[in-house]
Amino acid sequence: MSQPYSILYLDDEVDNLTAFKAVFRRFYNIHIAENADIAQKILAQQSIDLIVCDQRMPGKTGVEFLEEISRTHPEVIRMILTGYSDMQAIIDAINKGKVYHYITKPWKFEELKVIFDNALETYTLRQKNLLLESEKKELLLQKAQQEKQHITSQYEVLKNQINPHFLFNSLNTLASIIATDQDSAIKFTTKFAKMYRSILEHGEQKLIPLERELDLIENFIYLQKTRFGDQLKLTLEIKDKAYSLPPFSLQLLVENAIKHNIISATQPMEILITQDGEKLVISNPIVPRVSTETSTGIGLKNLASRYQLLMQKDIEISQDKDVFKVILPLIPDA
């Protein structure tokens, strides 16, 4: 059951306060105050939904009090109560105190109860609208942040793929085989062009079919194997390809493995990609390359951010002294 609304009644006549509380306490949380100072203390300590204030009071009139409250507690519904036919007070109450309703004495319980209920229903709807508006703004902000993250991800993907070292290494490899093996050079060029065409085609996509991603990584490995030969091996153990994942996820991980580890005849590299239900497990041996270039980890952080934005899931990263492993969640195709 929801909590009853809270009403604050301000009146300098004690009998009026007593009667009001006796009649309405069955329906609302009633707080009473004999003057504006007491009312302000109650407002500072309690959550009040509606204020009813007598107009003619010593020291500070009802209009003056409600005008003050309209600035300090603008969300509270305000009503003024008077037994005097004072048209200027009514106008001031509306203009200055921004009252919801003007009530004349003597009030009747049934009529006043209807006025309160209607006002509080309006109050509830207004609060819900404010909450919805706040949630809408939050969603728009999240969307803007996601779009920013997505644009950043696209930039990082493109930047990582058009890495000068990889580009120069590939061109050097191509130059070294053109003179001796033209068929291999043609195939290398075709694979190279296909890979970069895929970057342009899929760079803006949020998800890519697993089967397509596997084709991309095999093209990438082919280019690398032209350089490393049998010293580099990719093993795929995939049973079900009816899934999707962020584009170039595998390429980033494979490229990291190649970049940070020694690959030689005495220390060949085997990268293993296996499927475990709705996850891909990518692992490689750890044989650290001696390098003056410090790893920033931006690629993995970027990939983790993309997974959070798209799937609200985390990638898993682990390593021991021998093996580095990353586990990627997969999205089932609809």
Report the C-alpha gap between 73 and 249 in whole angstroms.
52
Q: Do 318 and 174 have their domain in common?
A: yes
Tell whether the model's pLDDT for residue 291 goes beyond 80: no
Residue 139, domain member (yes or no): no
Residue 263, domain member (yes or no): yes
Report the C-alpha gap between 274 and 325 in whole angstroms.
11
Q: Do 280 and 178 have their domain in common?
A: yes
pLDDT band at 326 (very low <50, low <70, confident <90, very high): very high
pLDDT in tens, 6-21: 999 999 889 989 999 9
Q: Do 215 and 271 have their domain in common?
A: yes
State the Cα angle at 94 between 89 and 99, rounded to 5°. Answer: 110
Is the separation of the CB atoms in 52 and 103 below 8 Å? yes
Find tokens 């939050």 and name the residue.
138
Q: What's the pLDDT score for residue 29?
A: 92
Once rounded to an integer, what is the mean pLDDT over residues 275-301? 81
CATH code of the domain covering residue 30: 3.40.50.2300
Residue type, 328: L
Radius of gyration of the chain (CA): 36
User: How many Cβ atoms sit within 10 Å of the Cβ of residue 242?
Assistant: 11
pLDDT band at 181 (very low <50, low <70, confident <90, very high): confident
Is the separation of the CB atoms in 119 and 79 below 8 Å? yes
- Identify any residues that bridge with 102 across adjacent strands, giving them in sequence order: 80
Q: What's the pLDDT score for residue 292?
A: 47
Q: Do 309 and 269 have their domain in common?
A: yes
Q: Which structural domain range is residue 33 located in? A: 6-133
Is the separation of the CB atoms in 241 and 210 below 8 Å? yes
Q: Do 190 and 101 have their domain in common?
A: no
Q: Do 176 and 128 have their domain in common?
A: no
Which of the two residues, 175 and 19, has the higher pLDDT score?
A: 19
Q: Do 191 and 93 have their domain in common?
A: no
Once rounded to an integer, what is the mean pLDDT over residues 119-123? 81
Q: Do 91 and 39 have their domain in common?
A: yes
Q: Do 302 and 201 have their domain in common?
A: yes
Q: What's the pLDDT score for residue 151?
A: 59
Give the total number of structural domains in the chain.
2
Tell whether the model's pLDDT for residue 290 goes beyond 60: yes
Once rounded to an integer, what is the mean pLDDT over residues 304-329? 88
DSSP string, 202-263: HTT-S-EEHHHHHHHHHHHHHHHHHHHGGGEEEEEE-S---EEE-TTHHHHHHHHHHHHB--
CATH code of the domain covering residue 226: 3.30.565.10
Q: Do 232 and 305 have their domain in common?
A: yes
pLDDT in tens, 237-280: 999 999 999 888 898 899 889 888 999 989 999 999 999 999 99
pLDDT band at 1 (very low <50, low <70, confident <90, very high): very low
Tell whether the model's pLDDT for residue 320 goes beyond 70: yes
Answer whether the bond into residue 164 is a cis peptide, omega within 30°.
no
Name the nearest CA neighbour of 295 among 326, 259, 328: 259
Is the separation of the CB atoms in 30 and 61 below 8 Å? no
Report the C-alpha gap between 261 and 57 in whole angstroms.
84
Among 117, 133, 149, give the residue marking a domain's end: 133
Among 116, 133, 150, give the residue marking a domain's end: 133
Q: Do 311 and 192 have their domain in common?
A: yes
The overall average pLDDT reported for the chain is 82
Share of the chain above pLDDT 90, in %: 29
Residue 209, domain member (yes or no): yes
Copy the structure tokens of residue 278.
């709705």
Q: Do 190 and 323 have their domain in common?
A: yes
